[in-house]
Amino acid sequence: MIEYFTEYETMNDGREVYRLIRDVTRNDCPWLNEDFKKGDTVFKYFGRTYGKISSSGTACTLKQSKLPFFELPNDCLAVVEE
């Protein structure tokens, strides 16, 4: 299982917001600690990922500019236009 880092701040106050376009479960992505539902909102993580994110995924967080980060598949994310 991939570690979830628990520092308090990321290295950047990035504001890229994603909405999930499909459900993502722990069966699909066993490294996740929880399931995500279509329509959930997550934020792009701009800090260091220490090589933990694959080329088919994006580092995300649940709270803008906060850790922990986790990987979600690129094909489940849509950018929310502000």
Domain ranges of the chain: 17-79
Per residue in 22-78, pLDDT (tens digit) is 999 999 999 999 999 999 999 999 988 999 999 999 999 999 878 899 999 999 999
| Reported pTM | 0.80
Per residue in 1-33, pLDDT (tens digit) is 444 444 444 444 457 999 999 999 999 999 999
Phi-psi label, residue 50: left if phi above 0, alpha if psi -120 to 50, beta otherwise? left
49 to 21, 37, 80, 81: CA distances (angstroms): 24, 24, 23, 25
